[in-house]
Amino acid sequence: MTDLRLDTSLIWLWIALLAVGLVAVTSASMELSANRHGDAFHHLMRHGAYLVLALLAFLAVLSVPTSIWAGLDRFALVLAIALLALLFLPGLGREVNGSLRWIAFGPISLQPSEPVRFLLVVYLAGYVVRHQQAISRDLLGLLRPLLWLLIPCALLVAQPDLGSAVVIMVAAVALLFLSGARVLHLSLLGVAALAGLWLLLSLRDYRVARLQAFLDPWAPDVQFGSGYQLTQALIAFGRGEWLGVGLGEGLQKLFYLPEAHTDFIFAVIAEETGVVGALLLCAALMTLVLRGLWHGRMAQRRGAAMAAGLAYGAALLLGIQTLVSLGVNTGLLPTKGLTLPLVSYGGNSLIVCSALVALLVRVAWENAESERAPRGARRREVMA
């Protein structure tokens, strides 16, 4: 019988972040729920249901050996492209706030960009297993997976959802770097990517407006326009000071700060728990990501390329999305609608982020099993 050796630190961090999110979402959404739905606990009840689904997703992914994913990498890429393409079928995709990001199945809504991130981690990890030498040897081996990723990223930009496309591409490049890609090749790609990003930003007026608001959100012509969300978030940080105004006592969530329970949940937490609470939350998220990267490194050392790729990809996606969300909330990055992993309201994000954490726990479990295996068995595993 297999000895169950899970990384309890990862599991406790996951549970703690979900608990923080439950409290924060409840605090940030009660007035909104009462105003829109006539029930102050509407968003709380939905968030509770999402947590149950996130737990089921965690257990389902945890039960799958990493070797199984290796045979599904090409299918994962095709499925990711198909999910994004479904958005553009008449009558299926649903537009919200000017963006075509949701597929409606009766009362259930799916945001394809969330499961697509998980699927692309599986694809990239599988590619690394099959083309390890090509990635480290020549530029074409590095370019091939990125060119394939341009298809789902183009579909994301068409929604439009430039932020998700950027997060996926940055995570992909970082994963390939950790898998042995040359710094020179990555530097050349980085220059080309920055030029492409600048072109995409300049093509849409609202993106230029967001960039201008980012540079000076307090300017009179943007303070109550494109810079409104950022100025209200900064006010929340200022009100919180060191210890916060107290749980449930924040004012910015009372219809001053848009998307307080989703994209700007960190500003609400900072207002109510202060610098201390905000830093503790950042430390928990950073520890989760670094722990995941460490398990990826351990898998790489024992020769388990698929497990290493899955751990690197999952940790990088969680880490980069966290950095973008924190950067947007604090004014270090232009405003972009991305949730804070495991904390913000949103069923799709909660489920997929929990599945990514499950990948990290699974890799840690297999690393521990490998350490307990006889030396000869470990050699055979590496050779395989």
State the chain's mean pLDDT as an integer: 87
pLDDT computed for residue 322 by the predictor: 96
Residue 2 lies in a domain: no
Report yes or no: 349 and 114 within 8 Å, Cβ to Cβ. Answer: yes
Q: Vertex 120, ends 142 and 5: CA angle to 5°?
A: 105
Residue 23 lies in a domain: yes
pLDDT computed for residue 97 by the predictor: 67
pLDDT computed for residue 348 by the predictor: 92
Q: How much is the average pLDDT of 282-307? A: 94
Residue numbers of the domain that contains 234: 8-383
Q: How much is the average pLDDT of 111-121? A: 93
Residue 53 lies in a domain: yes
Q: What is the 3-state secondary structure (H, E, C) of the chain?
A: CCCCCCCHHHHHHHHHHHHHHHHHHHHHHHHHHHHHHCCCCHHHHHHHHHHHHHHHHHHHHHCCCHHHHHCCHHHHHHHHHHHHHHCCCCCCEEEECCEEEEEEECCEEECCHHHHHHHHHHHHHHHHHHCHHHHHHCHHHHHHHHHHHHHHHHHHHCCCCHHHHHHHHHHHHHHHHHCCCCHHHHHHHHHHHHHHHHHHHHHCHHHHHHHHHHHCCCCCCCCCCCCHHHHHHHHHHHHHCCCCCCCCCCCCCCCCCCCCCCCCHHHHHHHHHHHHHHHHHHHHHHHHHHHHHHHHHHHHHCCCHHHHHHHHHHHHHHHHHHHHHHHHHHCCCCCCCCCCCCCCCCHHHHHHHHHHHHHHHHHHHHHHHHHHCCHHHHHHHHHC
pLDDT computed for residue 354 by the predictor: 97
Q: How much is the average pLDDT of 40-69? A: 94
Residue 129 lies in a domain: yes
Residue 1 lies in a domain: no
Residue 379 has pLDDT above 50, yes or no: no
Residue 3 lies in a domain: no
Percentage of residues in the chain having pLDDT higher than 70: 94
Residue 124 lies in a domain: yes
Report yes or no: 285 and 277 within 8 Å, Cβ to Cβ. Answer: no
Number of separate domains in the chain: 1
Residue 319 lies in a domain: yes
Residue 272 has pLDDT above 60, yes or no: yes
pLDDT: which is higher, 211 or 80: 80
The predicted-structure confidence for 213-257, as pLDDT tens digits, reads as follows: 777 788 787 777 778 888 999 999 999 999 999 998 998 998 888
